[in-house]
Amino acid sequence: MTSRKKGVRVHRAGAAPYLFLAPAMALFALFMALPIGYTIYLSLRRTKVSGLGLGKGARREVFAGLANYAAAVGDGELWAGWLRVLAYGALVLVLMLGLALVFALMLDAAHVRLARLTRISIFLPYAVPGVAATLMWGFLYLPSLSPFGEHPFLSAGLVTFSMANVAVWGGTGFNMLVLYTNLRAVPREYYEAARIDGASELGIALRIKIPILVPSIILTTVFSVIATVQVFTEPTTLRPLTNTISSTWSPLMKVYRDAFVTGDLYSAAATSMVIAGISLVLSFGFLRVVKNRAFGES
């Protein structure tokens, strides 16, 4: 009888983690796995039109195989959007992560005045919703309203820089806080020992702090790459203010146009899966390169 009770207790103890995980697993299945599965289903379908497409049964959904994927991969508009996003991403990643690192190192220096106020001031733009921030900068870019003078911030040659500025302004504070939090977790004794050995603040930053921050820098870079690939808010919000931003400026804008403007849900679903695949390749490719360099793997 005693061994039976022990068996029941072990069984209950083994089931306890799954009970705690059940709500998270249910939410993941409902809001992640199910939409992804439905998108894959739609991407393999198409509308078949019989005759003139009029009357009941003239339009029906049929299996399309990989035809939608072939059309998405062969779409020049999609790849043109990728080129624009890559140029935009190069600006955003370098400036945003570079500024975040500089600010984090400055705030973690030995003698900093008004550190708390400065930290809040840098982080505050991240708390502004993306649409509101883009609208604010959009009005600042308009020649008739801009306090910077009549400069063509939204012209074809500068619109990418203008959108990158919005992203850098909004995202630097979050990445700075991630890096700064990791720096604050480092024992102060490391820095004191370096100062006793005659190291300057710049030397401590370059030889101690930055190497310690490498995992956090990699993490913020991966998140920033994923966010950059999915850029949608900035070009969509600025588009009514200028004629230099097309409806397919970014890959996600093309998905939106195909799904909700032209009504081709099947093509939009296939294109979205292609975008997801490229995002995974870019993210894991970056992690692979970093891993190879860090551990000397070939």
Is the pLDDT assigned to residue 226 strictly greater than 50? yes
Q: Count how many domains the chain has.
A: 1
CB 171, CB 177: distance < 8 Å: no
Residue with tokens 């992640």: 32
- What is the Cα–Cα distance from 33 to 18, expressed in whole angstroms? 18
Is residue 248 a part of any domain in this protein?
yes
- What is the Cα–Cα distance from 257 to 14, expressed in whole angstroms? 49
Is residue 4 a part of any domain in this protein?
no
- What is the Cα–Cα distance from 127 to 269, expressed in whole angstroms? 31
Indicate the pLDDT class of residue 145, thresholds 50, 70 and 90. confident
Is residue 82 a part of any domain in this protein?
yes
Neighbouring CB atoms inside 10 A of 179's CB total 26
Q: What is the pLDDT of residues 242-295, one digit of tens each?
A: 999 999 999 999 999 999 999 889 999 999 999 999 988 888 888 888 777 665
Residue with tokens 């397919």: 248
Report the pLDDT value the prediction gives residue 56, as an integer from 0 to 100: 66
Range of the domain at 227: 75-263
Is residue 156 a part of any domain in this protein?
yes
Is residue 67 a part of any domain in this protein?
no
Q: What is the pLDDT of residues 170-208, one digit of tens each?
A: 999 999 999 999 998 888 888 888 888 888 888 888 888
Mean pLDDT on 63-71: 91
CATH code, domain with 154:
1.10.3720.10
CA angle 7, 12, 17 (to 5 degrees): 135
Cα 4 to Cα 1, 8, 16, 17: the distances in Å are 5, 6, 19, 21
Mean pLDDT on 122-128: 92
Cα 183 to Cα 60, 161, 177, 186, 215: the distances in Å are 59, 31, 10, 5, 12
First and final C-alpha spacing in the chain: 59
Among 222, 250, 254, residue whose Cα is nearest residue 235: 250
Is residue 24 a part of any domain in this protein?
no
Is the pLDDT assigned to residue 5 strictly greater than 70? no
Is residue 101 a part of any domain in this protein?
yes
Is residue 233 a part of any domain in this protein?
yes
